Each structure stands twice: as structure tokens, then as C-alpha cells.
């Protein structure tokens, strides 16, 4: 299996390279982007990707952020229930995010079939 060196950068500005599987730079970046935390991100300035590939990586990152927000809402909802507070506002926001995530992932699936 082929591997690629993908540049990543942390919040302090320190750049490093991760060796990841992938036949192309985009495949490697797409693979590792799903595993990176908020403290480390892809160094897009060194990847030399097309506009469509950058858009796909941005969508993937947005999906990660939506999932993180949904997890936070679940914790807040549970905390509200334990305090005897109605969690309806958390549920509403969670459902809005769930719909947005569904549409975004469906769009990504269509886009990856074209790449």
C-alpha cells in the first residue's frame, strides 16, 4: 500500500508530517483529516490541491465540528434532565444540526463519487 507524507500544523504553528495511506495526496489528506483533533489541522498551504478537493476537506472538517457540537448538546441535555429542566431547546438545536449533517454528508458522498 502506498503512503504519503501529509503536512499538519498545530495551534502553536509547529509543522510536522504524518505518513498516511493513500494513492494521492488528496486521499492521504482526506484519511488523516478525519482523525485529527482541533489542536492539529492540515497545513493546506503545502498540499497543492484543486478547488474541489479543498472543498471536500472543508466539508469533512465542518462535519467534524457539527458532530462535536451535537455531543456537547447531548451532555447539556442530560445535565438539564438531571436538574429537572426541560431540555427542549437542546433537542431542537440537535435536530437542526442532525439535518445539516445529513445533507452535508450526502453532498460529500456525491462529490467523492465525482472525484
- Domain end, chosen from 48, 65, 85, is at 48
Does 35 share its domain with 67? no
Cβ atoms within 10 Å of 90's Cβ, excluding its own: 20
User: Both 23 and 62 in a single domain?
Assistant: no
29 and 19 together in one domain: yes
What is the block-wise mean pLDDT of the chain (115 residues), using blocks of 10 residues?
Answer: 90 92 90 88 91 92 94 95 93 96 91 67
- pLDDT at res. 113: 67
Cβ 40 vs Cβ 33: under 8 Å: no
Residue 63 confidence (pLDDT): 94
Total tally of structural domains belonging to the chain: 2
Q: How crowded is the C-beta side of 76, counted as CA atoms within 13 Å?
A: 14
Same domain, 72 and 22: no
pTM over 0.85: no
Supply the range of the domain harboring residue 66.
50-114
Q: Is 29 in the same domain as 78? A: no
Would you say 30 and 56 are in contact if contact means Cβ atoms under 8 Å apart?
A: yes
Instruction: Say if residue 38 is in the same domain as residue 79.
Output: no
Amino acid at each position: 500500500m502506498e503512503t504519503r507524507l501529509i503536512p499538519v500544523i498545530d495551534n502553536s504553528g509547529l509543522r510536522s508530517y504524518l505518513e498516511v495511506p493513500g494513492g494521492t495526496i488528496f486521499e492521504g489528506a482526506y484519511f488523516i483529516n478525519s482523525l485529527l483533533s482541533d489542536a492539529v489541522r492540515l497545513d493546506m498551504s503545502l498540499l497543492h490541491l484543486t478547488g474541489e478537493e479543498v472543498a471536500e476537506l472543508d466539508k469533512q472538517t465542518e462535519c467534524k465540528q457539527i458532530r462535536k457540537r451535537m455531543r456537547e448538546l447531548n451532555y447539556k441535555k442530560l445535565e438539564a434532565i438531571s436538574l429537572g429542566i426541560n431540555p427542549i431547546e437542546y433537542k431542537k438545536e440537535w435536530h437542526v444540526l442532525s439535518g445539516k449533517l445529513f445533507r452535508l454528508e450526502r453532498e460529500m458522498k456525491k462529490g467523492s463519487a465525482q472525484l
